[in-house]
Structure 1
């Protein structure tokens, strides 16, 4: 009898534990991510940052950031921002970093940088039937660009002998509008990252002709506020370098772009 009583108590404890576990934590319930959050800012810029069919941020930069910061012990929270306000958002502490196919060229003194982690070409694209075939053919024409981007700066300064004087430079806050201007005939050409032009052509089944002469070849990086003294920037730079070496970056970029190796030749850049 004594043994039966003991066994009954043990069985009761086991069953109680089973039901408590079952009630308290159903199978399949996700654990809350307790890792500290990195607030990453970007605008919508396919294939680097955009929303999928479920409204979830995705793209090259989102995947690279999630992997890199994950290795560092952080989770990433992507914030869609007004690109013109990026510097103020970093300075105020509302964001930890900016990552949106962000060219480092000419901005090295404006931010603390992790990178470059990829190479990108800034180019000019026109409609297939356009009589513009070279940069010099843009003389007296109208070019549309996104404001505060490298193409805007290149055509405003015109300190490159290849860059002619335009009739009009249309700087738009919303990147998508530059393609609307081109399609409606209000602009003769657009200037931006080649990868983004290729993605737009794919997404909207349109055809543009990219001029053979790039405006410039740049390295893209992750920007932190100039006064940010945390070790995040240094650690992220090291982690992104490790991801290039172990093949992770190539795998991620290959989900979005063909021939991903060409975008990882950052050692050829002088930074």
Structure 2
């Protein structure tokens, strides 16, 4: 008579443990910290920094960094995909609290209140594999395509870099993903963009481009707030990002996307 009772106790224990595990899973998948104040992050589709994953959720390097940094600061980030050319108007109107999307600080130091840099990136020029363009000097008389309002666009428009010759035309497109198809279809001779984004596009779509050995510029990436924003969030975020860098969190996040995360943590990481 004791054997059935033993089986019953085991069954009840198993059911209780199952309930605990299911409750734990539910807690893990349920929205967290919904009572925290919201920070609205403006970004665009720019893999591997910002994109929408297979579950329809924001993902990427910048998304993970923002989630962790704002969690530590007691905020909950909400990500809004914006038209990159309208980012300044959206920031000044208060539609977004900050711009966070592989945004180069170089040359824009006085345009925003910055948090960062949290990592570094190469601005590069790429061509089709069979192109006769080997150096920046070979761009003379050629057509180059860039994303509008980005650092590569300003580098070609400003004319301040003596290494960049006079080109035939500069095509500025609104969406980053369009610049690669523009090059592949022969509408341009070269594309200028972030190295990391270019490598991601090549991996995702099986595209073949050749990156010139001579880079345009090494830039620090940061989070931009309006100059008139006096809430102190940018300053607190800057300190938090430095903390994440020191404790290894930033490197861990980069390592899940990039083969050589240490290369992007220092401005001189490209020296090797």
Give the shorter-chain TM-score range. Answer: 0.7 to 0.9
Paired with 1:59 and 1:129, the residues of 2 have a C-alpha distance of: 32
The one-character-per-residue Cα deviations of 1:95-135 (angstroms, maximum 9, x if unpaired) are: 11100000001111110000011111100001111110100
The offset of 1:31, in angstroms, is 6.3
Aligned residue for 1:238?
A: 239
Aligned residue for 2:144?
A: 143
The offset of 1:187, in angstroms, is 0.6
In the alignment of these two chains, the number of paired residues is 244
The one-character-per-residue Cα deviations of 1:58-99 (angstroms, maximum 9, x if unpaired) are: 000000000000011111100000001111111111111100
C-alpha RMSD over aligned residues: 1.6
TM-score (norm: length of structure 2): 0.87
The offset of 1:266, in angstroms, is 4.8
Paired with 2:267 and 2:242, the residues of 1 have a C-alpha distance of: 10
Q: Is the 8 A contact 1:116 1:266 kept in 2?
A: no
TM-score (norm: length of structure 1): 0.87
The one-character-per-residue Cα deviations of 1:131-150 (angstroms, maximum 9, x if unpaired) are: 10100001011100000011
Aligned residue for 1:250?
A: 251
Aligned residue for 2:98?
A: 97
Alignment of 1:46-195 (within 5 A): 46-195=47-196
Describe the SS at the equivalent of 1:242.
helix
Paired with 1:251 and 1:108, the residues of 2 have a C-alpha distance of: 28
Q: Is the 8 A contact 1:139 1:167 kept in 2?
A: yes
Aligned residue for 1:14?
A: none
Q: Is the 8 A contact 2:219 2:267 kept in 1?
A: no
Matched, 1:34 2:35: yes
Q: Mark the runs of 5 or more structure 2 residues left unpaired by the alignment.
A: 1-18
